Structure 1
């Protein structure tokens, strides 16, 4: 990586460590050089060593002397750095075998259960041609495009390919084996273990470690097994909370989800892709696959759309300008100490989304015994039913204290356990 390049179009030297890039008379220069290589002449930016007639280590290694610009990540700073093209990561033989084995497992599982499935399937639509590693079609025509991505792919590539697939009527489902993959929470995804291809092909258990969640609702009170979402775990608000959890973190734990489960349920509509915005930062959020009934319950409580349009970009961290002298040597294949990248951040942390809290249940009318009875909105009633594990129509007030319980249905009590225990 380097902190300077030669602009062949203007015939100027660019210092990436300066806020004005060394050219205050060109205010649009930054946006221009940050344009994706696919949207400009790939030979626009040149290695300074190559331009000066010196040895370009990249060219000597059989690659190009042409450059692209990106944000680096160094000790929390985000400097602009120049790197040589091409930037495509060539998968290792092991990665290629894993990719092929996973793709074949998806297709074979779908065909074995009577679904339509084809590998390397081209999809043509109004926005052009897209290719999925495996295309699985459900009974109602739902098409799931499995993208097996075991080697790095930048976020822009994820956005572009996901948007193209959806525009062509295909729901993308990205598969990764890394907790650091850029695709996580930027499109519908699933994470599996890093397994040898022979074990994938042999049918060894292949669990979904991330990307699939269940909805959990609970009344925030001292006897609850979960903490309050609003008080930082301190105290209880007596409101109704709802959030999404990995199967093992549910109360009680849910069964593990296997890749075969995901192949079938996504195609049949039993599992849906949702995007839940972060409670504290609406610009971000989590993509996940969820059971259809959980999706219905969440929508009734939150009123949110199931899957908004995928963004084509996202806010970037502010660029750091260190105002240094240009290093004119070519350091291709070796990282300069000043530009040594920080480790890639872990994106799959398995954390809840922040959930939502429904208004506190309040007393609004007395019952015939003079005790306070509770009334609830439709959203609250849905949450209460989910918390109690019963249909909405079985929810009703305790005949003594008015707290809502499973009041109706077979063997349902007319009073809550507390009132019954106190003989009220």
Structure 2
């Protein structure tokens, strides 16, 4: 990897460590050199050593002196680096076998459920190909993308947008917690399993990418922490957040890949996008039940569509060290400018959630009006139908006031009264 490259079209030397690449009068230069190799002349970018008629380690090793540009990862920085073609990663035989076995398992599962399924489906005038497309009884089409090796965020976004524009819901499958596709599009993560186990039907659990909505009232008796108070405080409001099955209270059954094949095609499970609330991440993509998504949209009073334009995260921002160009060929030297390992993206953490404020205390001559959103959230948090909700006779907060096992006072007020 190098921090400089020769542009054969313009006949200029490019310094990748400078914000303007050393050519302030060419504002489109960055876009041009980072375009996919398939969309430009493969010999557009040349190793500086090869151009200067010095030894190019890649060419002397029987490989190419031509280069492509990508983002490295060094000490928390994201510099632009030039690497020799062909691309640095090709699927290993093991990855190819896993990919093929997973694709065939998705198609076979769909067939057992009576769903239409087809492998290697061209999308968007053959600009991309879905590994498998499963069609549900109502015509819902889900495009499964099995991606067991690294793919750039821009490629994930481009292929996802192509699918959506052609009436296909993308569903990306990864096996690595650090996969860049995670939270760039609807996704699911499975274990790194031998291809024979995948082909033989061994249980294949969705480890990440599928969540359940939990709604709870923030009182001392709650098993969950407050989302807004520090420490062990309780704010009395109603919180809602998304959790992986293992962190639900009580713990939910794990979702298997067969479950997701069926539910995604029938619309029982749907993708949802939750924008980030203050972190450096653009947002969270996840698969959820249709009922959970409907309740979430009612609680937050908005419907957030899947992003159709790339949303840049803090970790994606290019950094420029403004260094001198190193004109030596560094092909094959693993100790030179080696990229740090990609950090995990699937952390199974809550999203930050949403909080409904406490109901205002009514004036003596007034009554507190419960809005439909508050009623829906309270119904989910308290585990009772909406018509059994009412106001506590003491604090005037929502509680299960009517129906079987109802009471006039909430648990907090009853504890206060009993302590007098």
Q: Same fold (TM over 0.5)?
A: yes
Q: Which runs of 5+ in 1 are unaligned?
A: none
Please say which of residues 12-21 and 408-417 is displaced more in the overlay.
408-417
TM-aligned CA deviation for residue 88 of structure 1: 6.1
Aligned counterpart in structure 2 of residue 347 of structure 1, from 323, 345, 348: 345
CA contact 1:228–1:234 (8 Å) conserved in 2: yes
Is structure 2 residue 199 aligned with structure 1 residue 201? yes
Cα 1:120–1:88, aligned 2, differ >3 Å: closer, same or farther? farther
1:16-73 Cα distance to aligned partner (Å, 9 max, x none): 2344434455555444433443443332110011112233222334432111222322
1:123-172 Cα distance to aligned partner (Å, 9 max, x none): 4x5x6654211111111010111111111111111011111011110001
Q: How many residues align?
A: 416
Q: Which runs of 5+ in 2 are unaligned?
A: none
1:240 aligned partner? 238
Is structure 2 residue 326 aligned with structure 1 residue 332? no
Name the CA distance, whole Å, in 2 between partners of 1:75 and 1:88: 20
Is structure 2 residue 168 aligned with structure 1 residue 174? no
1:98-145 Cα distance to aligned partner (Å, 9 max, x none): 11111111111111111111222234x5x6654211111111010111
Name the CA distance, whole Å, in 1 between partners of 2:346 and 2:329: 35
Is structure 2 residue 405 aligned with structure 1 residue 407? no
Please say which of residues 230-239 and 186-195 is displaced more in the overlay.
230-239
Name the CA distance, whole Å, in 2 between partners of 1:205 and 1:76: 37
1:71-112 Cα distance to aligned partner (Å, 9 max, x none): 322112233211112216321111111111111111111111
CA contact 1:373–1:402 (8 Å) conserved in 2: no
TM-aligned CA deviation for residue 7 of structure 1: 1.5
- SS of 1:364's equivalent in the other structure is coil
Please say which of residues 274-283 and 383-392 is displaced more in the overlay.
274-283
Superposed, 1:198-237 pairs within 5 Å as 198-237=196-235
CA contact 1:373–1:403 (8 Å) conserved in 2: no
1:397 aligned partner? 391
Name the CA distance, whole Å, in 2 between partners of 1:109 and 1:309: 29
Cα 1:201–1:32, aligned 2, differ >3 Å: closer, same or farther? closer
Is structure 2 residue 311 aligned with structure 1 residue 317? no
TM-aligned CA deviation for residue 400 of structure 1: 5.5
TM-aligned CA deviation for residue 327 of structure 1: 2.2
Please say which of residues 102-111 and 29-38 is displaced more in the overlay.
29-38
CA contact 2:80–2:318 (8 Å) conserved in 1: no
**Over aligned residue pairs, what C-alpha RMSD do you find?**
2.5
1:56 aligned partner? 56
2:370 aligned partner? 376
Name the CA distance, whole Å, in 2 between partners of 1:176 and 1:28: 33
Please say which of residues 231-240 and 382-391 is displaced more in the overlay.
231-240
Name the CA distance, whole Å, in 2 between partners of 1:28 and 1:115: 47
CA contact 1:73–1:341 (8 Å) conserved in 2: yes
1:223-244 Cα distance to aligned partner (Å, 9 max, x none): 2211111123442221111110
Name the CA distance, whole Å, in 2 between partners of 1:12 and 1:208: 49
Superposed, 1:1-400 pairs within 5 Å as 1-24=1-24, 26=26, 28-87=28-87, 89-123=89-123, 130-281=128-279, 284-312=282-310, 314=312, 316-324=316-324, 326-337=325-336, 339-366=337-364, 374-399=368-393
Cα 1:238–1:53, aligned 2, differ >3 Å: closer, same or farther? same
Cα 1:95–1:400, aligned 2, differ >3 Å: closer, same or farther? same
Name the CA distance, whole Å, in 1 between partners of 2:233 and 2:394: 26
CA contact 2:46–2:67 (8 Å) conserved in 1: yes
Name the CA distance, whole Å, in 1 between partners of 2:14 and 2:127: 37
CA contact 2:71–2:81 (8 Å) conserved in 1: yes
Name the CA distance, whole Å, in 1 between partners of 2:20 and 2:96: 43
